[in-house]
Structure 1
Amino acid sequence: MLLSEQWVLVTGGARGLGAAITRALVREGASVVVNYRNSETSALALKDEFGDRVLPLRADVTDAAAVVRLFDKAQTRTGQPIVSVVNNALADFQFDGDARPKIDSIAWARFQQQLDGSLKGALNTIQTAVTGMRSRGFGRIVNVGTNLFQNPVVPYHDYTAAKAALLSLTRTAAHDLGPDGITVNMVSGGLLRTTDASAATPEFVFELIASSTPVRRVTTPEEFADAVLFFLSPWSRAVTGQNLIVDGGLVKG
């Protein structure tokens, strides 16, 4: 299915990386269901900018019932089931290495918060989307990951563990859903310059990462978003269960 034929759900699609993904999709002809939890102003601004190509809908993706209502509203408004999902929503988190809790003091509640946001949220959208995807014989699921579990240059224990679990779900879901024409992949970035979550990162960290990459710069949200589009397009039709690292070559494999 061409991007121009798709309504794509982007969770957390109103700001930061999510907004960059939304803009990239609209640029390439897709229409976007912009899911948000608290960022109503940003979501409505995207609606004002792109008109009928954007449908803002509020839902907490960690709430399974709210996700069902989200999908029902989207289908009612668009006249078709959502067959493409980008699981981008991030539980409240800041990439600030100086403020992160260390392993000897971090509370389980922080792990639970990140697991709920990354893993439970993705599970809710996948389970809700599957019926519509099967009805069309087509589905594209893209989960947003991180390169930190391969290269924990800053050990964010809770965030990294949750994203590692999401990679596992990506691969097991790909196995289950492949026979239905549904692919499940992950795109993993490093630190992006700049999103709301990375705004607290000290400048020297950006400089350190840039100097360690072959391209000598930090990846932007827009560059990351372009890689997400590959997994939603016909060009990736034979690719599933994969994790594409988009970080300027910092991490290999």
Structure 2
Amino acid sequence: MTLYPTEQWLDEYGRLLDESDTLDDLAGGWGRGFNGDILLVISELPLEETTLAELPEPALAGIPEDVREGIGDVTLADAPETFGEALRPSLPAQVRELLYQLEENVDDGTLYAYIGLEGGDCTGVEVVGGPEERDVGFEVSASYSTWRQIVDGRPVASALLTGDLDVTGNHVRQVRYSAMFQLLGQIAADVETTHLFEGSRSSPATALVDEAVRQPAFIQRTAERQVSRTLNLL
């Protein structure tokens, strides 16, 4: 399993996007004549509220118990400074890599991930330093808590309806390819994931919306795929 949100998780997500036959069907015209690249904005990462002791076991593998006890109260916001260049070589490789990514990739509690999409192909994935680094046609923004729910299977359509997820870009294309955006969330849920941070449970009202949109989203995706295949045969 890969830790979310890390560069390794994003690489696996990009691989699944590129291998998806369903994405090929739904997004055959995506990015043809317009910029179809997407920036994922993951905000409110709980670095100041999360201590090293609260990280999942895969993130701490290799750290002796006595060392864990001594560093358990260090928050992730303070960890890069606490474990400076002199101390980091003594840490397991995966812990050093995690600290490096937190230090380099997270800006004021926000992480930005670039997804290159053209047709049904993923042309590249990359964690970037900010929204100005890559020219994209669409931004998809939400808090870490919402993204975690989507990675765990929450429908994108539900998050949009409740205002937890925001998509900026050409509105007409958003509507035309709404099933594709839903699929992007479903493929994220296919990544074998271990979350770095604790998540919050959906409210009863949100859970009702989730269930209400699941079946219609499936029907819409199936219909759009069939239309796309029919057009390709003409």
Same fold at TM > 0.5: no
TM-score by structure 2 length? 0.28
Q: Which has the larger radius of gyration?
A: 2
TM-score by structure 1 length? 0.27
